[in-house]
Amino acid sequence: MKDNLTLVQRVEAHPDSRCWFVGWNPNGSLLASCGGDKTIRIWGQEGDTWVCKSVLEDGHQRTVRKLAWSPCGNYLASASFDATTSIWRKKNQEFESLTVLEGHENEVKCVAWAPSGNLLATCSRDKSVWIWEVDEEDDYECVTVLNSHTQDVKHVAWHPTQELLASASYDNNICIYKEVDDDWECQATLKGHTSTVWNLSFSATGERLASCSDDRAVKIWKEYPAESGQGDKSWKCVCTLSGYHDRTVYDIDWCRLTGALATASGDNAVRVFREDASSDPDQPSFSLAAHEPNAHGQDVNCVTWNPKEAGLLASCSDDGDIAIWKFLEQD
């Protein structure tokens, strides 16, 4: 019997344009969305209903593709097809534009904050990953440009506790970076997907990494000590979930409260997977726990778990809508 995925609310978030991304702030009280209409919208609860609290306009000239909340929740970064990343500062209930980061040659596809809040990563269609350092005066400086991919870089994700960065690309690969002697280096290249890797999500401990792809598969990678006992750790694919998605898997999010995996797909569906209780950590198995085949009217672009309320899930789509779901686990 499948676990329940119940629709809590559906919102016309970005009418007449795609909604590309939704992201919860660190305490789970606000939800930010962005889309093809060049705006960012901030959503909060009034009673049991999610309503728009703020609309951030004039920050970008083209589509806003991705957002990232700082770990403290006081800053919001937005990545745009106009080749810039904007930083917004929360001031009481409003947001003000703080600065604009420039340098990428074309579309910025993703932005992500390190767990310390002192580093920011951006990636672009220009095939590069940039790491920015933030000082106490809110000044941002690019400290390195990484060119480990041969194609458009779709996504960047930080390890939950370490300054370790992962990136996913149109070249079918995943790269893992870390700082060595004040210089950032690609420490590992994860090969296994046969088409574009769209998104990445670390587990709660950071020992595992989930990836999703245009090849319609989800892969679980596990970190292992270096075989020689020295040097860099290695990442190995320990599980592949295939046969579940009818089209591209655009997004994946690993719930750090429950361990459930949610996916967003071009087949208009949202799915939730749970790890089998008896599975071997070195050969884990996952089962489909919930499947909403018509979650949206068009491609589902993003899924994200609330960081504080177990089972609360948000999704967004090319149809411009945000959907809030409740995943109820069955005994």
- The CATH number of the domain where 232 resides is what? 2.130.10.10
- Across 78-97, b (16+ Cβ under 10 Å) vs e yields bbbbbbbbbbbebeeeebee
What DSSP character marks residue 173? -
Which residue segment(s) compose the domain that 230 sits in? 4-328
Coil, strand, or helix at residue 142? strand
- Return the pLDDT at 1: 36
Whether residue 32 contacts residue 78, with contact meaning beta carbons closer than 8 Å, is answered with no
Q: State pLDDT tens for residues 248-282.
A: 999 999 999 999 999 999 999 999 999 998 889 89
- Return the pLDDT at 226: 76
Whether residue 312 contacts residue 24, with contact meaning beta carbons closer than 8 Å, is answered with no
Whole-angstrom Cα distance, residue 64 to residue 109? Answer: 9
Of residues 244, 282, 276, 274, the one with CA closest to residue 257: 274
Backbone angles phi, psi at 228, to 5 degrees: -80, -10
Task: Indicate the burial class of 53 (C-beta count within 10 angstroms; 0-12, 13-18, 19 or more).
Answer: middle
pTM, to two decimals: 0.95
- Return the pLDDT at 230: 56
Number of domains in the chain: 1
Coil, strand, or helix at residue 133? strand
Taking the CA of residue 64 as centre, how many other CA atoms within 13 Å lie in the half-sphere pointing to its CB? 27
Backbone angles phi, psi at 91, to 5 degrees: -130, 105
Amino acid (one-letter) located at 135? D
Q: State pLDDT tens for residues 130-181.
A: 999 999 889 999 999 999 999 999 999 999 999 999 999 999 999 999 999 8
Beta bridge partners of 133: 119, 141
pLDDT, tens digit only, all 331 positions of the chain? 356 899 999 999 999 999 999 999 999 999 999 999 999 999 999 999 999 999 999 889 999 999 999 999 999 999 999 999 999 999 988 999 999 999 999 999 999 999 999 999 999 999 999 999 999 889 999 999 999 999 999 999 999 999 999 999 999 999 999 999 889 999 999 999 999 999 999 999 999 999 999 999 999 999 998 765 555 679 999 999 999 999 999 999 999 999 999 999 999 999 999 999 888 989 999 999 999 999 999 999 999 999 999 999 999 999 999 999 999 876 5
Whether residue 168 contacts residue 197, with contact meaning beta carbons closer than 8 Å, is answered with yes
User: How big, in percent rounded to 5, are the helix, strand and coil portions of the chain?
Assistant: 0, 55, 45
Whole-angstrom Cα distance, residue 307 to residue 170? Answer: 29
Tokens of 74: 């006081």
Beta bridge partners of 34: 21, 40
Amino acid (one-letter) located at 45? Q
DSSP assignment of 227-251 equals TTSSS--EEEEEEEE-SS-SS-EEE
Residues 6+ apart with CB under 8 A from 172: 191, 193, 194, 195, 196, 197, 213
Beta bridge partners of 262: 253, 272
Of residues 166, 218, 213, the one with CA closest to residue 187: 166
Taking the CA of residue 265 as centre, how many other CA atoms within 13 Å lie in the half-sphere pointing to its CB? 25
Number of H helices, E strands in the chain: 0, 28
